Amino acid sequence: MSQANLHLSARGHVLVVDDDELFRESVSTNLLDAGYSTDAFPDGASAVSHLLTGPNADLVLLDWKMPGMTGIEVLNRLRTEKVDIPIIFLTVLSDQIYEEAGLLGGAVDFVEKSRSFSILLRRIELILSGHKGREQPQPERKDVVVHDDLTLRHDSCRAIWKQQNVQLTLTEFNIVAYLIENSGRDVSYREIYDIVHGEGFMAGDGEIGYRTNVRAFIKRIRQKFRDVDTGFTYIRNYPGFGYRWRDGSEQ
């Protein structure tokens, strides 16, 4: 059952989805004390139903391992339904394979439950500030940008490659748009990471962490372009530094 809090908060509204009642209530209480409004759900299915039919949220704290619908299944369902709310996975698992799976699915962060609430709160603050910042209108940007075989529609956040729609999330679209704006130039991991999380954010594993995060996003973006064009090779890697979108003149 949803444990709704009707208090309107200027800091943001956070959904807590976890089958551990004590953990769920503890995190929700701490969020309220920190000035956020919350809704709490004991399972993935009820959270998905809420997000698809009820009030929206600014961020979701999502348990990775739950009976019934797992966290990754919740994430996949939301992204399929074009719900692009930032998601932080909460987990007791530390194996990197799980983190990569979550990031490839479209999550923005991965925090172990053993971390203190102050760490989690800082992650929430940085992600929300970055996410909201990216939603501000950019009057100098053209609504439609055409670059070689790619058309970017900033008015609807759609990417069209060789007349075919590429199913990008909002974050993936923003990454591609930035690479296009800087096409022919090597873009650092840090620059791309700031697009995802907001400037100054640092992954739990420092430089290694944010490079892993960026590589996961680029891998997913490349695959989506290859789904519509198996010969797609326009995103090039500069080992140890970052990526570039090659111009049509580059071989």
Residue 208: which CATH number? 1.10.10.10
Q: Are residues 25 and 125 in the same domain?
A: yes
Which residues, including other chains, have CB under 8 Å from residue 147's CB and lie 6 or more apart?
180, 183
In a domain, 4, yes or no: no
152 and 208 part of one domain: yes
pLDDT tens readout for residues 124-173: 887 777 644 344 444 455 678 999 899 999 878 889 999 999 998 888 88
User: Among residues 143, 131, 159, 158, which one has the least CA distance to residue 232?
Assistant: 159
Domain boundaries, position 184 = 144-245
Please tell me the total count of domains within the chain: 2
Q: Within this chain, do residues 18 and 128 fall inside the same structural domain, yes or no?
A: yes
**Residue 84 sits in a domain of what CATH number?**
3.40.50.2300
Is the same domain home to 107 and 208?
A: no
Q: Say what the pLDDT of residue 223 is.
A: 94
Pairing of strands 13-17, 187-188: unpaired
What pLDDT, on a 0 to 100 scale, did the predictor assign at position 97? 52
Question: 159 and 63: one domain?
Answer: no
Does 98 lie in the same domain as 171?
A: no
Domain shared by 129 and 176, yes or no? no
- Of 103, 134, 165, which residue sits at a domain end? 134
List, for residues 84-132, the tens digit of each pLDDT value.
888 888 877 554 555 556 665 556 677 777 777 888 888 888 777 764 4
Q: Rounded CA gap, 222 and 236, in Å?
A: 10
Residue 194 has pLDDT above 60, yes or no: yes
38 within domain boundaries: yes
Asked if 118 and 35 sit in the same domain, the reply is: yes
